[in-house]
Amino acid sequence: MISIVIPTYNASRFMPNLMDSIFKQAVDDMEVIIVDDCSTDDTVEIAKTYATRVIQMEQNGGPAKARNRGVEEAKGDIIFFLDSDVLVLDGTVQEVKDYFENEHAANCVIGVCATEPLNNGFVPKYMAMFEYIHLMDALGENLSVFAPRCGAIKKELFQKVGGYDESYKGADVEDFELAQRINETDSIALNPKMLVRHQFVNNVEEAVKNYFKRAVMWIHLFMKNKQFDNAGPTAPSNAIAAVCAFLSFGTALTWPLMNGAEYAFFLLMILFLFFNIRWWNFMRKEEGFLFSAKALLLNYVLGIDIVAASLYGLITYPFTNKDPVKG
């Protein structure tokens, strides 16, 4: 049986479309569990108009705790996690069922976000395409991230590794932390036939704030466990590109004061372009040169942001209690 577990918090604007997208492709032996984290809007009321099991948390504890509670209540042996701000594309629920029936050794699999996000605008489109191409680049590998916006896992394995770390209070890096524990005993596969459309941040300001926060937390997690990732924004190629962006920006600032700074700047920019060429070509072919040029500029800004956050994370790590930063 498949148990679809969805944590919610003030998600009323997403619920009708999300529920409709799930139930129009319902499969045999499926249940939908909504774990509401003390919403103040009508999320619960909307959820109850569908054939769902609604669990209302007594106090707000964050999505990690809500997901764990959903698994505790689940009747199925397969847990299919979804975020509340997604739309499940046709065939995805059936694909989850078929995947575990056909891949007998599989215990954990994630899907991908389609390149068309739920919200309009340049930044959401960039983020959807950026995430998509980097996950697809890791197709066939054992992944180092378990994305709960569209991820399925055997209940037995989830409980064996201890579930989500509930000290993460926000939608932070709990997915990376869980993946590291899964990878100690098992593997995480990618199935591109499992597809959702996701609501990404709306503008550059939100992206900068989000990346800074997550980069600090990822550095703290890295310092604790000393493990890199092989897919998504934290893949090594993206880290190198971000460092090149940061150093080139610093070099540009010292250009008038340091002999040869211009050579260092151009070398760093060449490296920045080299490590970004794969996803840049993908966006250029899909959306045209103007879009891809804007995407490269945004990536440069976010690279500077990420390295600055990483340095802050390195500085602050010794003063933390070595447990996840609570948000």
Q: pLDDT tens digit string along 180-228?
A: 999 999 999 999 999 999 999 999 999 999 999 999 998 998 888 777 6
pLDDT in tens, 126-149: 999 999 998 998 888 889 889 899
Closest residue by Cα to residue 206 from 126, 324, 136: 126
Predicted local distance difference test score (pLDDT) of residue 230: 62
Closest residue by Cα to residue 17 from 83, 67, 88: 88
Instruction: Collect all residues with Cβ–Cβ distance below 8 Å to 81 and sequence separation of at least 6.
Output: 4, 5, 6, 67, 148, 149, 150, 151, 152, 153
Give the full edge-to-edge strand order of the sheet including 2-8: 53-56, 30-36, 2-8, 78-82, 150-154, 108-113, 189-198, 86-88
Predicted local distance difference test score (pLDDT) of residue 198: 97
Closest residue by Cα to residue 150 from 98, 96, 187: 96
Predicted local distance difference test score (pLDDT) of residue 319: 84
- Rounded to whole angstroms, the Cα distance separating 203 from 200 reads 9
pLDDT in tens, 77-131: 999 999 999 999 999 999 999 999 999 899 999 999 999 999 999 999 999 999 9
Percent of the chain with pLDDT over 90: 79
- This prediction has a pTM of 0.92
Closest residue by Cα to residue 73 from 54, 97, 59, 46: 54
- Rounded to whole angstroms, the Cα distance separating 219 from 320 reads 12
Provide the pairing of β-strand 108-113 with 30-36: unpaired
* Sign, CA torsion 163/169/175/180: negative
pLDDT in tens, 243-252: 999 999 999 9
Give residue 324's pLDDT band: very low, low, confident or very high (50, 70, 90).
Answer: very low
Say if residue 53's pLDDT is above 90. yes
Q: How far is CA 240 from CA 101, 125, 247, in A?
A: 39, 23, 11
Say if residue 323's pLDDT is above 80. no
- Rounded to whole angstroms, the Cα distance separating 92 from 107 reads 17
Say if residue 231's pLDDT is above 70. no
Q: What is the mean pLDDT of residues 229-238?
A: 70
Q: What is the mean pLDDT of residues 170-189?
A: 90
Q: What b-and-e string marks burial along 256-277, b requiring 16 or more CB atoms within 10 Å of the CB?
A: eeeeebeebbeebbebbeebbe
Say if residue 292's pLDDT is above 70. yes
Return the minimum-mean-pLDDT range out of 71-75, 101-105, 294-298, 323-327. Answer: 323-327
Q: What is the mean pLDDT of residues 156-172?
A: 91
Predicted local distance difference test score (pLDDT) of residue 138: 85
- Our measurement of the distance from residue 65's CA atom to the centroid of its chain's CA atoms, rounded to an integer in Å, reads 17
Predicted local distance difference test score (pLDDT) of residue 326: 40
Q: What is the mean pLDDT of residues 275-283?
A: 95
